[in-house]
């Protein structure tokens, strides 16, 4: 996995994940998500360069989503790779309201959306 980077832009930030985002890297990935959420009010997750995605990463994203909602922050997946889309489909997440493969504004728990 290439080094993950957080780009802070005013109160918003971008966290780009590259390469494999799988269970052997779960702790590192978790720390990156926690760190990003502590820095900004709206974190955009860029997954365009992920090459392998597993269920553990999807679960981390879901946990980050819940944490962001509890702290009145926002988490958006702004770009998706084919492996990410496949992992979402394989996990069955496309069957839940709000989860779309386009990965744009897909958070159904934002304030005002229910």
3-state SS class at 96: coil
Asked whether the predicted pLDDT for residue 7 surpasses 50, the reply is no
Give the pLDDT band of residue 95 (cuts 50, 70, 90): low
Q: What is the pLDDT of residues 38-80, one digit of tens each?
A: 888 888 899 999 999 999 999 999 999 999 999 999 899 888 9
Q: Measure the CA–CA gap between 31 and 107, rounded to whole angstroms.
A: 21
Q: How many CB atoms lie within 10 A of CB 67?
A: 15
Q: Looking at the chain, which runs of residues are DSSP E strands?
A: 5-9, 12-21, 42-53, 74-80
Q: pLDDT higher for 30 or 106?
A: 30
Token code pair at residue 1: 């996995």
Query: Would you state the pLDDT for residue 84?
Result: 92
Q: Which domains does the chain have, with CATH numbers?
A: 5-95 (3.30.750.24)
């Amino acid at each position: 996995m290439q080094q993950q980077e957080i780009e802070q832009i005013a109160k918003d930030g971008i966290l780009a994940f590259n390469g494999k985002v799988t269970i052997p890297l779960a702790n590192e990935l978790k720390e990156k998500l926690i760190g990003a959420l502590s820095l900004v009010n709206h974190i955009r997750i860029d997954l365009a360069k992920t090459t392998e995605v597993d269920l553990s990463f999807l679960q981390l994203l879901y946990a980050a989503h819940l944490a962001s909602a509890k702290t009145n922050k926002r988490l958006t997946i702004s770009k998706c790779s084919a492996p990410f889309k496949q992992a979402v489909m394989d996990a069955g997440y496309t069957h839940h309201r709000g989860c779309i493969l386009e990965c744009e504004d897909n958070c159904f728990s934002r304030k005002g959306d229910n």
